[in-house]
């Protein structure tokens, strides 16, 4: 990967053209099936960021790729918003795990956000009863990572790298992993094949609508896009799924990209439940200005351990704070969740 020309078959035998010409190249490093590259100053190249999903044994993790036709920030904002989950992903026929999900018992979570060196913790509190709260803490990690907490029915941590392709397209790298044991074979099959024609959080093999090889990420475009109305089915909406959209990631993708690839933020109406989105937006804007105007980089951006963080779901006594559970928010390779799901 040094950008050298290997052969110039039509040039004279003693031509040295191939020794002089180089294409622009970037260093690549592979770790557990993910190719990382550094496109900045070669002399300022930091170590690969330590991210738990990219470091656990291969049997503990499932990673999938797909292209989503919207700006990466819209996708980030959708995933750090925890309020939508029991509503958008809900069923109306009372079947399926989401209907029994504890988060469904309080549809109006109260948000608490905390700035971190790695980005932002977006915590949501749901009241289970007078003595007990259910907390979900989603994490946003600079520059475009999100982490979603596990659920008792789905004991995996998950999240995305929302890698910008351009302003209107995003490469979505989704990961689901168990921190200390292999994923169940059944779980992996569900991720790969979907369930009764529905998608899970991962794009299944049937989701893809490949484009000509000349297009970037040709294999990873899907049939669930705005043109196809994300396969919205009115009948399903009246009988099974609240959203009428066939599966978890499709429901998210439709809401994140449905209005426009870059929506007009001057015309939106943020509510109290958008606190996490608003705070994260403000943080990003501040950091961008700091870098642009003063050349200040985010703290510890070159410290690989900065990203060793977990999203958590905690049932706590009323009055207990999620911030006090700092230990279980640290990612420790090989260690279990550290609390009961
Ligand atoms: Fe969602």
Q: Tell me: the pLDDT tens digits for 108-135?
A: 999 999 999 999 999 999 999 999 999 9
Question: What separation in Å is there between the alpha carbon of 131 and the centre of ligand 1?
Answer: 28
User: What integer is the mean pLDDT of 25-48?
Assistant: 93
Tell me, yes or no, whether 147 lies in a domain.
Answer: yes
Question: What separation in Å is there between the alpha carbon of 256 and the centre of ligand 1?
Answer: 10
**Which H or E element spans position 140?**
strand 132-141
Question: What separation in Å is there between the alpha carbon of 254 and the centre of ligand 1?
Answer: 10
Burial (Cβ within 10 Å: 0-12, 13-18, ≥19) of residue 195: middle
Question: What separation in Å is there between the alpha carbon of 307 and the centre of ligand 1?
Answer: 22
In this prediction, residue 258 carries a pLDDT of: 78
Ion ligand 1, residues whose Cβ is below 5 A away: 252
- The CATH number assigned to the domain holding 195 equals 3.90.380
Percent of the chain with pLDDT over 70: 98
Question: What separation in Å is there between the alpha carbon of 78 and the centre of ligand 1?
Answer: 7
Mean predicted lDDT score pLDDT of the chain: 93
- pLDDT of 47-65, one tens digit each? 999 999 999 999 999 999 9
Domain that residue 172 falls in: 46-329
Q: Which residues contact 123 (CB under 8 A, 6 or more apart)?
A: 111, 112, 113, 114, 135, 136, 137, 138, 322
Domain count, the chain: 1
Question: What separation in Å is there between the alpha carbon of 124 and the centre of ligand 1?
Answer: 14
| Beta bridge partner(s), residue 64 | 174
Question: What separation in Å is there between the alpha carbon of 52 and the centre of ligand 1?
Answer: 22
Question: What separation in Å is there between the alpha carbon of 99 and the centre of ligand 1?
Answer: 14
Question: What separation in Å is there between the alpha carbon of 179 and the centre of ligand 1?
Answer: 22
* Cα-based torsion angle of the residue sequence 79, 157, 331, 281 in order, rounded to the nearest 10 degrees: 0
Tell me, yes or no, whether 41 lies in a domain.
Answer: no
Question: What separation in Å is there between the alpha carbon of 270 and the centre of ligand 1?
Answer: 18
Question: What separation in Å is there between the alpha carbon of 85 and the centre of ligand 1?
Answer: 5
Output the pTM of the full model: 0.93
Question: What separation in Å is there between the alpha carbon of 3 and the centre of ligand 1?
Answer: 41
Tell me, yes or no, whether 242 lies in a domain.
Answer: yes
Tell me, yes or no, whether 298 lies in a domain.
Answer: yes
Picking from 84-93, 108-117, 124-133, 293-302, which range would have the lowest pLDDT averaged per residue?
A: 84-93
Question: What separation in Å is there between the alpha carbon of 317 and the centre of ligand 1?
Answer: 26
Q: Work out the pLDDT band at 241, boundaries 50, 70, 90.
A: confident
On the question of pLDDT at 306 being above 90, the answer is: yes
Sign of the CA dihedral running 206, 230, 144, 52 = negative
In this prediction, residue 243 carries a pLDDT of: 93
Does residue 117 contact residue 300 with C-beta atoms inside 8 Å?
yes
Tell me, yes or no, whether 210 lies in a domain.
Answer: yes
On the question of pLDDT at 1 being above 70, the answer is: no
Question: What separation in Å is there between the alpha carbon of 8 and the centre of ligand 1?
Answer: 51
On the question of pLDDT at 97 being above 70, the answer is: no
Question: What separation in Å is there between the alpha carbon of 74 and the centre of ligand 1?
Answer: 13
In this prediction, residue 210 carries a pLDDT of: 96
Question: What separation in Å is there between the alpha carbon of 105 and the centre of ligand 1?
Answer: 17
Q: Work out the pLDDT band at 100, boundaries 50, 70, 90.
A: low
Tell me, yes or no, whether 149 lies in a domain.
Answer: yes
Tell me, yes or no, whether 25 lies in a domain.
Answer: no
> Of the segments 135-139, 194-198, 256-260, 296-300, which one has the largest average pLDDT value?
135-139
Question: What separation in Å is there between the alpha carbon of 87 and the centre of ligand 1?
Answer: 9
- pLDDT of 179-200, one tens digit each? 999 999 999 999 999 998 899 9
Tell me, yes or no, whether 37 lies in a domain.
Answer: no
């Amino acid at each position: 990967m040094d950008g050298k020309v290997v052969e110039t078959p039509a040039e004279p035998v003693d031509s040295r053209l191939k020794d002089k010409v180089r294409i622009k190249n970037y260093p690549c490093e592979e770790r557990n099936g993910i190719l990382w590259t550094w496109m900045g100053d070669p002399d300022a190249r930091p170590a690969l960021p330590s991210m738990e999903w990219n470091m656990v044994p291969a049997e503990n993790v499932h990673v999938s790729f797909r292209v989503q036709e919207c700006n990466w920030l819209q996708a980030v904002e959708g995933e750090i918003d925890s309020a939508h989950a029991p509503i958008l992903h809900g069923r109306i026929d009372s079947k399926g795990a989401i209907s029994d999900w504890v988060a469904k018992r309080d549809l109006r979570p109260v948000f608490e956000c905390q700035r971190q060196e790695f980005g932002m913790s977006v915590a949501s509190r749901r009241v289970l009863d007078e003595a007990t709260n259910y907390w979900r803490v989603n994490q946003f990690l600079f520059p475009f990572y999100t982490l979603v907490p596990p659920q008792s029915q789905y004991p995996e941590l998950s999240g995305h790298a929302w890698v910008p392709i351009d302003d209107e397209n995003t490469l979505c790298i989704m990961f689901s992993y168990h921190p200390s044991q292999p994923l169940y074979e059944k779980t992996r099959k569900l991720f790969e094949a979907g369930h009764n024609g529905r998608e899970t959080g991962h794009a299944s093999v049937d989701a893809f609508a490949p484009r000509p090889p000349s297009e970037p990420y040709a294999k990873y475009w899907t049939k669930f896009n705005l043109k196809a109305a994300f396969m919205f089915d009115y009948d399903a909406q009246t009988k099974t799924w609240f959203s009428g959209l066939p599966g978890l990631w499709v429901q998210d993708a439709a809401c994140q990209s449905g209005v426009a690839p870059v929506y007009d933020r001057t015309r939106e109406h943020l509510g109290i439940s958008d606190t996490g989105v608003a705070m994260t937006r403000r943080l990003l804007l501040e950091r961008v200005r700091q870098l642009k105007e003063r050349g200040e980089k985010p703290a510890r951006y070159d410290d690989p351990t900065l990203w060793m963080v977990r999203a958590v779901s905690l049932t706590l006594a009323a009055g207990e704070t999620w911030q006090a559970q700092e230990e279980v928010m640290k990612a420790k390779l090989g260690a279990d969740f550290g609390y009961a799901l």
